Amino acid sequence: MSLAEFRHSVARDAAPPPGLGTAIEALWHDAQGEWERAHGCAQEDHGRDGSWVHAYLHRKEGDRGNAGYWYARAGRPMPAATVTLEAEWEEIARELLSR
């Protein structure tokens, strides 16, 4: 699935497309404004991808300390303050969808 197709699904579908991994499903719910549901999905994925999305979600809620823990678990640096949440969401989505 391309990023454009994923965004299109976010805009028009009532549920995420079938077959998505839990980490990318978390991003789908986040884009729907469903932070709690997104967080639940991220918590289900105990790998680096889930940790990366988990970190992003805590950064989004303003909990940089907790986000830092999850970025470390994901093996990723905390984004610079100049990196927007939208840019990070797109980076994560693009990478996860490319696999």
| 83 sits in which H/E element | none
What does each of the 99 residues of the chain score in pLDDT, given as a tens digit? 999 999 999 999 999 999 999 999 999 999 999 999 999 999 999 999 999 999 999 999 999 999 999 999 999 999 999 999 999 999 999 999 998
Residue with tokens 């009532």: 14
This model's pTM is above 0.85: yes
**Ramachandran region of residue 96, left (φ > 0), alpha (ψ -120 to 50) or beta?**
alpha
